[in-house]
Structure 1
Amino acid sequence: MPSFGRTLERLPLLVDQRRLAYGITIALCAAAWWLRLILDPLFPPGFPYLTFFPAVILSSFLFGRGPGIVAAVLCGLLAWYFFIPPLQSFGLQRGTPLALLFYVGVVTVDILLVHWMQVANRHLSRERERTAQLAARTEILFEELQHRVSNNLQMVGAMLSLQQRSTQDEEARRAIGDAASKLQLIGRIQRGLYGSRGEPLAIGTFITRLVEDLAESSGKPGVRHIMDSSTPLMLAPERAIPIALIVAEAVANAIEHGFADRDRGTIKISIASDGAMLSLTVADDGRGVPDDFDIARQDSLGLRIARSLAQGIGATLSIRPARPGTILRLEHIPTGSDS
């Protein structure tokens, strides 16, 4: 159906070759006349225009209003001369004017309807082109906005990193460094929230891109990252960004602490959906956390931020030993699909 619609939008044909269009129109009229002659013995009296109507409609449909009018006049004259008594003359009998008036009315309506349809199709084609141009411009502006927001966040992070170098207090340096890295991370997340056309990405695709980005900047190419996600769900930014920050914190902790004494290992991220709820798991085979590890008692800035983000989206966050390694679970994440 879409290809048929595009074909209709290209009508009328031969706009730049009108002589050919009129020539084909005359040929269609001649074919209609010949067919009417052949079928005349089979038709009862009173059907002089039967094969001529299709010629008029087809000429109008294919070549436009002008050839349609020529076809209407030529077919009308042929039908009048050969098939309306008195035959082979343009004489008028009692019912001839009524028959001619009927023919003129029908072909006029046919030509006008075809013409209006083609005008509407041309308007539709122009509107589609304008819409496509507007969509392309919107896409460019959206990408530019995304890049500007991301770049501004990363620039602020870079400025904080510069400030960190001139700060003497060790605790302040660490806090500024954490804030700088978080801002730069948010900038990368913001850049990856949407596809190349501005469409929101499925959470699995979004997290996959984020993890690949983190892997490239980790400095440990021997650490493998495995992504396991079959959900096509797309989350709003207010849910996707906190999830991405928690995943980034889990990956960073695995690389920094779990694989602190080795250059190889595996980090697996799994995402699953169950109705209106989403669950996410980050597991590594590194050194692992102690058996008595309690996330509620941890004072590191990253874990405190992760707890706060999980509470903000109504999810449950837990970290426990996996033997080997560590497993982080983010469960009962509302997807918003039921609203």
Structure 2
Amino acid sequence: MQRKNERFVERLPLVLRRPWHAYLLATVFCLIAFAIRTVAEIAMPVGYPFVSFFPAVILTSFLFGVRPGIYAGVLCGLISWYFFIPPRMAFDLHPGVLLALVFYGTVVAVDIALINLLQKANFKLAVERERSRALAENRELLFRELQHRVSNNLQVVAAILSLQRRHVDHDVARRALDDASARLALVGRISRALYNPSGEGQNVRSFLTTLTADVLEASGRDDIVLTVDAPDGLTLEPDIAVSMALIVTEAVNNAIEHGLPHRGGSIHVGLDISDGTITLDITDDGKGLPANFDPGFGQSLGLRISNALAGQLNGRFSLMPAAKGGATARLDLPVRA
């Protein structure tokens, strides 16, 4: 309702199909003001000849502009002078009448001038608002196009790496190209999904739920139950969400590939905030960490990438045995993230 009122005010003064319609309506307003002043004659004290005519002039100026407003001011002044300023039924001019007419004319002129200035300012504001809206739409369109192109370029690079894999005979090199291709494709998908021109953060629960479901589906495993637990209303900035997505993806893939390689099980992704720290745990009930596991992550590229990404976020990544068997990958971040 308020927005409709704003749009109506922005259209003022009204531009009628025929200009004389504005003067006709101004005459109607003046006659209504005259009727109200006549009816109120019994209850009103002596004087106040213009009291009902000011609203007619203001309303006319507000709706139809300066010229109809001036016309209404002159017409109302003449009606007041003739019918309500003694001696009545005459256009008698003496110092008292002259002072009353000067007062009336001054008030009417000030009212019309103020209304005109306000409407001009409101018109400029409406023009600027429309210009800002158009710029915002263009900005959003260009931003989405940029994100689309960046995402597509990442997908193309991932596809090139995947094609290049066919010409590599070494198993380790092929595996490295597969991993790089998958990570690039993931970054492309995340960039397209997360970034938006308004700069709004990403809801953590929906983000983690969608991400882990995609990872599980990509693995082709239907014997693993994956659950996500995160507080409501928590959001992450896009840059942090991308890094977190890569870490979570790596941890879930590790749980599927190394923790649950030959049997079904469960993976739980939980996020908690306490003591100024955000703690993200990815826990599986698989076979756990090997006896010779290197806490420094040894030669595991994925774990070293996770550790590096955590460092970029001023956080810490660790991999440890779970309390009830299996393994837990943990990411600790400051709350400001």
- Provide TM-score, normalisation by structure 1: 0.87
Q: Which amino acid aligns with 1:27?
A: V
1:32–1:52 Cα contact (<8 Å) kept: yes
Structure 1 distance, partners of 2:184, 2:107, is 73
How much does 1:139 deviate?
0.9
Structure 1 distance, partners of 2:105, 2:3, is 34
Structure 2: stretches of 5+ with no match in the other structure:
none
Which residue in 2 is equivalent to 1:62? 63
Residues 138, 91 of structure 1: CA spacing in aligned structure 2 closer, same or farther, 3 A cutoff? same
Which residue in 2 is equivalent to 1:210? 211
Which residue in 1 is equivalent to 2:316? 316
How much does 1:249 deviate?
0.3
2:283–2:322 Cα contact (<8 Å) kept: no
Which residue in 1 is equivalent to 2:241? 240
Structure 2 distance, partners of 1:19, 1:285, is 85
2:165–2:178 Cα contact (<8 Å) kept: yes
Which residue in 1 is equivalent to 2:74? 73
1:192–1:206 Cα contact (<8 Å) kept: no
Deviation per CA, 1:5-42: give whole Å up to 9, x if none: 33422323463364544333222211111111122233
Structure 1: stretches of 5+ with no match in the other structure:
none
Which residue in 1 is equivalent to 2:180? 179
Structure 2 distance, partners of 1:81, 1:275, is 82
Are positions 1:279 and 2:284 aligned together? Answer: no
Structure 2 distance, partners of 1:51, 1:68, is 15
Deviation per CA, 1:284-339: give whole Å up to 9, x if none: 344443477553244211112112222332222222235354322212x12436xx
- Identical-residue share of aligned pairs (%): 46
Residues 241, 55 of structure 1: CA spacing in aligned structure 2 closer, same or farther, 3 A cutoff? same
Which residue in 1 is equivalent to 2:44? 43
- More moved, 277-286 vs 243-252: 277-286
Which residue in 2 is equivalent to 1:28? 29
- Provide TM-score, normalisation by structure 2: 0.88
1:288–1:322 Cα contact (<8 Å) kept: no
Are positions 1:305 and 2:305 aligned together? Answer: yes
Where do 1:88-127 residues align within 5 Å? 88-127=89-128
How much does 1:210 deviate?
2.7
Residue 329 of structure 1 aligns to a residue whose secondary structure is strand
1:33–1:52 Cα contact (<8 Å) kept: yes
1:285–1:326 Cα contact (<8 Å) kept: yes
Deviation per CA, 1:250-276: give whole Å up to 9, x if none: 1212232333224x5443322233475
Residue 273 of structure 1 aligns to a residue whose secondary structure is strand
1:288–1:323 Cα contact (<8 Å) kept: no
Q: Count the aligned residue pairs.
A: 335
How much does 1:217 deviate?
2.5
Structure 2 distance, partners of 1:107, 1:317, is 75
Structure 1 distance, partners of 2:217, 2:327, is 21
Q: Which amino acid aligns with 1:258?
A: G
Structure 2 distance, partners of 1:109, 1:222, is 81
2:202–2:237 Cα contact (<8 Å) kept: no
Q: CA RMSD in A?
A: 2.7
Residues 224, 104 of structure 1: CA spacing in aligned structure 2 closer, same or farther, 3 A cutoff? farther
